[in-house]
Amino acid sequence: MSSKLILFVCTGNVCRSPIAEYLLKKHLNGAGRWVVGSAGTCALENQPPTPAAVAVMAEHGIDISGHRSRPLTRQLVEQARVIVAMTAAHARAVSLLYPPAVEKTFVIGSFDDSRDEDIEDPIGLSDEAYRRVRDKIARAMPGLASFLNALE
């Protein structure tokens, strides 16, 4: 990993944070020097993304089927230059794991007009719920990319 790691954090690392990871990768389109990753506060190791997450991302031409989950670790938190949490609770979990990380941890809604709005967990819900999550995360990408560009 790199000091230019941006890490997305959710609970299981099988839907929200991988959706955010792959949306940002597409948004950056290989530009810049950021390494984009994700992890989960309660993630099991090496789980595939949910079928609904794969399906709604495929609708936008993005294949996340190769993603595998990983738990959030102190080492990942220390390595990350920026941490973007899907909810305020995830941001608190990061700061409990590694208190100095509070200064580099943000809730994804802070990068769009929702201002700190949490991204609800769509596990067990319809594809339409996953689409709402995907679209809400996508709305934060331009603001997040601008923020990252200012850090480079």
Q: What is the pTM of this model?
A: 0.95
Query: What secondary structure does DSSP assign to 108-120, as a single string?
Result: GGGGSTTSS----
Lowest mean pLDDT, pick from 26-30, 59-63, 70-74, 91-95 = 26-30
Residue 16 among the catalytic residues: yes
Query: Which residue of the set 15, 16, 70, 112 is catalytic?
Result: 16
Which residue ranges form the domains of the chain, and what is each CATH number? 5-151 (3.40.50.2300)
Give the integer Cα–Cα distance in Å for 48 and 136. Answer: 22
Q: In what order do the strands lie in the sheet with 35-40?
A: 35-40, 5-10, 80-85, 105-107
Catalytic residue among 10, 70, 112, 134: 10
Tell me the pLDDT tens digit for each residue of 48-69: 999 999 999 999 999 999 999 9
> What is the C-alpha to C-alpha distance for residues 23 and 122, in angstroms, rounded to an integer?
17
Q: Which helix (H) or strand (E) holds 38?
A: strand 35-40
Catalytic residue selected from 121, 127, 131, 132: 121
